[in-house]
């Protein structure tokens, strides 16, 4: 029984950073911009949250720093993708590379270390979980409401499905896309902040460890639909939680195989849902009024 | 001719701008960028040994850069080269260190086996793409993580030197007969025949894309999948094969790292660094042509080798090289921005 409850709690906790990053990714994708850079935005968020918390002693400022850093990275991606109509996949890859280099570079410059920051003030806990977890779930439900029940959500989806039609009825396609992409970075930054000042009290090198990519898979698996994304994130959180628990209790299977679990599951999930999953039709395509 | 010049101008400009931005960071850290870059280029080119090191560092990047460009020609983005490098390296280590049969552990057979391992690992993503429509970017990313866990498993259990209870997670050294001959046996730089194989690979890939029907079909599929299919090309088969060959090239990078002596002929933790990801940068800067890959692999190897010399002589962490690389890729992703810049510059010139 005790194991069962700790598995449920672990699922909720581990799903949180994936969920919020995936909701962000969906915001970017439903407005028509592919965001491979979620992993890097998450990593920058984790780093900045730790730095913000370290220098101010206030973990709430850490949360905000994480979101701002993620948003700034996303802004770069947005300008390249929307204004200069660059290759969105390539730009995302560059952002991931930048984040992995920049965070280690700054660790050396600021702390003369290459692996981690000193310990930083952590966010308060509520019923055994960081308050960031609660913020994340509340924000996720607000996001679901916004996309499905409000005018701005309708516009976002319109811009991703048929930018020309949206433009014709007077929606500012570029502006909506900037909002979608920058929000995705801020959400990924929050997911990162959970890792460094929610779950732990320090930033460690490459601590996002593929969660940004798993979030990307959750978007596809959840079929670009917030409710689906919620379920997909919980599934990955479950795999992650199971993995952590199994490492404590199952000694017969080498831990490396247990650690593979979330990735194998993602792969199987993607292979299983294909055919039913259809991306927003304008996703990945730059929109040019003059060419349309 | 004018177009060719323009094509060269954008990568060149990207590198230049990235170096200037890097210089800004160096100034901010209180060092002189000219001195720092002096150490960088001096370290990479200043001596015979430096040049040999740069050639050695470029070798896996040539392979992985070719791997990325090969898939790119068919319109696919193989983020999984890193996993394929790992699988190639593990296969090389497993056969080279454990199989005591002179027909099988002959170096060229081992290289072939590593290539096949890379091929098969990439072919999983190729199969998922061709048969089930799974986007290769996501599937290869997952395969990277699976490969890296598998690597840790192999180094800690079945391939571990001294058995699972051995002292460090690494394989025993591969046997003499499985080692790639050294090009400069007297130096302490392990420049080996892998470098020659890499050059041959550049030529072979160039030949495939410029002189064969297969290369033409790959490009047709990359240009327009549906049109290629309608023209009678088995596009799904091409996707699978292309990704497989891409993995084969990446697998060779892994083989060279193990069999070439860089890690004292053992596969140990961290040996494969980020060579698969470096390939992405190399292919993009090289404009996805074999010659471009060769040139940009040298550039990145220069930065890498020189970056270490710079870190040794100044207070600048060598990670600045990764930041410079990322800026280069960002600039290339937004080549429209650069061509806008070039245009504005030309207009100003015309006015003046």
Tens of pLDDT, residues A119-175: 999 999 998 899 999 999 999 999 889 888 899 889 998 888 889 888 888 889 999
SS3 B121: helix
CA dihedral of B321, B323, B327, B332, whole degrees rounded to 10: 60
**Distance of alpha carbon A195 from alpha carbon A212, whole angstroms:** 12
Question: A76 in contact with B at a CB cutoff of 8 Å?
Answer: yes
Query: Chain A partners of B330 at a C-beta cutoff of 8 Å?
Result: 76, 80, 91, 94-95, 98
Q: What pLDDT sits at residue A267?
A: 87
Average confidence (pLDDT) over A172-179: 93
Instruction: Tell which B residues from 277 to 296 touch A, by Cβ distance under 8 Å.
Output: 277, 280-281, 284
Pick the range with the lowest mean pLDDT from A65-69, A137-141, A200-204, A271-275: A271-275
- The proportion of chain A whose per-residue pLDDT surpasses 70, expressed as a percent, equals 97
In sequence order, what are the residues at sequence separation of 6 or more whose Cβ sits closer than 8 angstroms to the Cβ of residue B210? Answer: none
When CB atoms are compared, the residue of B29, B139, B333 closest to A80 is: B333
Contact A93/B at CB under 8 A: yes
Report pLDDT digits (tens) over A190-220: 999 999 999 999 999 999 988 998 898 888 8
pLDDT digits (tens, 9 = 90+) for B3-40: 677 777 888 889 999 999 999 999 999 999 999 999 99
HEC string of B319-343 equals CHHHHHHHHHHHHHHCHHHHHHHHH
What is the span of the domain harbouring residue B146? 53-278
Q: Does A274 touch chain B (CB under 8 A)?
A: yes
Cβ-nearest to B146 among A79, A86, A263: A263
At B2, is the pLDDT very low, low, confident or very high (cuts 50, 70, 90)? low
pLDDT given for residue B54 in this prediction: 97
Distance CA B32, CA A185 (A): 34
B69 touches chain A (CB under 8 A): no
Residue B31 in domain: no
Residue A64: what are its φ and ψ, rounded to 5°? Answer: -65, -40
Per-residue pLDDT for A292 more than 60? no
A206 touching B (Cβ < 8 Å): no
Overall number of domains in chain B? 1
Strands (E), A81-213: 125-126, 129-130
- Residue B272 located in a structural domain: yes
- Among B85, B262, B107, B228, smallest CA distance to B179 is for B107
Does the residue B234 lie in any domain?
A: yes
Say whether pLDDT at B245 is over 70: yes
Q: What pLDDT shows up at residue B247?
A: 98
pLDDT of the residue at A90: 85
Choose from A97, A278, A286 for mutation: most chain B CBs within 10 A. Answer: A97
Inside any domain, residue B203: yes
> Over 70: is that where the pLDDT of A273 sits?
no
Residue B26 lies in a domain: no
A42 in contact with chain B, both atoms CB, cutoff 8 A: no
pLDDT the model gives residue A271 = 82
Average confidence score pLDDT of chain A = 90
* Closest chain A residue by Cα to residue B135: A270
**pLDDT at residue B234 is higher than 70:** yes
ipTM of the modeled complex: 0.85
Distance CA B29, CA B297 (A): 28
Percent of chain A at pLDDT exceeding 90:
57
Q: What percent of chain B has pLDDT over 90?
A: 79
Is B291 within the bounds of a domain?
no
Q: Span B197-211, mean pLDDT?
A: 98
Q: What's the rounded mean pLDDT across residues B177-188?
A: 93
Flag if A266 and B142 touch (Cβ within 8 Å).
Answer: yes
Q: Does the structure show a pLDDT above 60 at A275? A: no
pLDDT tens-digit map of A6-53: 889 999 999 999 999 999 999 999 999 999 999 999 999 999 999 999
Residue of A nearest to B133 (CA): A274
For residue B216, is it within any domain?
yes
Nearest CB to A86; choose among B319, B322, B334: B334
Contacts of B152 in chain A (CB under 8 A): 256
Residue A290: per-residue pLDDT: 66
Q: Domains in chain A, ordered, with CATH?
A: 16-273 (1.10.3470)
């Amino acid at each position: 029984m005790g194991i069962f409850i700790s598995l449920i709690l672990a699922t909720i906790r581990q799903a949180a950073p994936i969920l919020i990053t995936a909701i962000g990714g969906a915001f970017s994708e439903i407005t028509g911009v592919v965001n491979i850079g979620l992993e890097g935005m998450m990593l920058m968020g984790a780093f900045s949250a730790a730095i913000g918390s370290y220098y101010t002693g206030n973990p709430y400022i850490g949360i905000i720093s994480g979101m701002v850093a993620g948003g700034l990275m996303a802004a770069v991606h947005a300008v390249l993708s929307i204004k200069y109509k660059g290759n969105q996949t390539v730009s995302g890859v560059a952002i991931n590379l930048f984040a992995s280099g920049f965070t280690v570079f700054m660790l050396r410059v600021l702390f003369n270390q290459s692996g981690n920051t000193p310990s930083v003030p952590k966010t308060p806990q509520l019923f055994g979980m960081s308050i960031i977890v609660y913020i994340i779930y509340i924000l996720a439900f607000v996001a679901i409401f916004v996309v499905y029940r409000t005018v701005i959500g309708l516009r976002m989806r319109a811009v991703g499905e048929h930018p020309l039609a949206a433009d014709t009825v007077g929606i500012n396609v570029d502006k909506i896309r900037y909002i979608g992409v920058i929000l995705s970075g801020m959400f990924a930054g929050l997911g990162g902040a959970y890792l460094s000042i929610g779950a732990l009290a320090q930033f460690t090198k490459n601590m996002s460890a593929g969660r940004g990519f798993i979030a990307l898979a959750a978007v596809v698996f959840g079929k670009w639909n917030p409710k689906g994304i919620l379920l997909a994130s919980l599934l990955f959180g479950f795999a992650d939680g199971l993995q952590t628990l199994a490492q404590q209790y199952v000694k017969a299977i080498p831990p490396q195989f247990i650690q593979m679990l979330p990735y194998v599951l993602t792969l199987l999930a993607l292979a299983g849902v294909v055919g039913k999953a259809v991306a927003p039709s304008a996703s990945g395509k730059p929109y040019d009024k003059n060419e349309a | 001719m004018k177009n060719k010049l323009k094509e060269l101008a954008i990568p060149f400009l990207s590198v230049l701008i990235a170096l200037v931005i890097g210089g800004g960071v160096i100034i901010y850290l209180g060092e002189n960028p000219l001195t720092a870059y002096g150490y960088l280029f001096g370290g990479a080119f200043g001596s015979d040994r430096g040049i040999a090191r740069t050639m050695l560092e470029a070798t896996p990047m040539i392979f992985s850069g070719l791997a990325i460009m090969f898939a790119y020609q068919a319109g696919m983005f193989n983020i999984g080269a890193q996993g394929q490098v790992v699988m190639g390296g593990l296969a090389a280590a497993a056969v080279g260190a454990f199989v005591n049969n002179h027909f099988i552990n002959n170096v060229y057979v081992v290289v072939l086996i590593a290539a096949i391992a890379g091929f098969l690992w990439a072919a999983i993503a190729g199969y998922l793409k061709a048969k089930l429509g799974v986007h290769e970017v996501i599937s290869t990313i997952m395969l990277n993580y699976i490969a890296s866990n598998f690597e840790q498993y192999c180094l800690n259990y079945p391939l571990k030197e001294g058995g699972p209870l051995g002292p460090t997670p690494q394989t025993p050294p591969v046997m003499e007969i499985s080692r790639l001959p050294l090009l400069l046996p007297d130096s302490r730089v392990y420049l080996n025949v892998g470098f020659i194989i890499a050059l041959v690979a550049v030529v072979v890939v160039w030949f495939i894309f410029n002189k064969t029907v297969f290369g033409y079909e790959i490009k047709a599929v990359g240009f327009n999948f549906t049109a290629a299919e309608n023209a009678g090309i088995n596009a799904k088969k091409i996707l699978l094969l292309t990704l497989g060959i891409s993995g084969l090239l990446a697998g060779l990078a892994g083989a060279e790292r193990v069999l070439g002596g860089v890690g004292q002929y053992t596969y140990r933790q961290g040996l494969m660094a980020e060579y698969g990801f470096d390939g992405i940068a190399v292919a993009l800067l090289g404009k996805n042509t074999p010659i471009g890959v060769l040139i940009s692999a040298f550039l990145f190897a220069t930065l890498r080798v020189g970056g270490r010399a710079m870190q040794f002589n100044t207070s600048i962490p060598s990670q600045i090289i990764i930041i410079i690389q990322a800026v280069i890729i960002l600039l290339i992703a937004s080549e429209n921005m650069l061509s806008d810049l070039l245009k504005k510059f030309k207009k100003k010139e015309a006015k003046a």
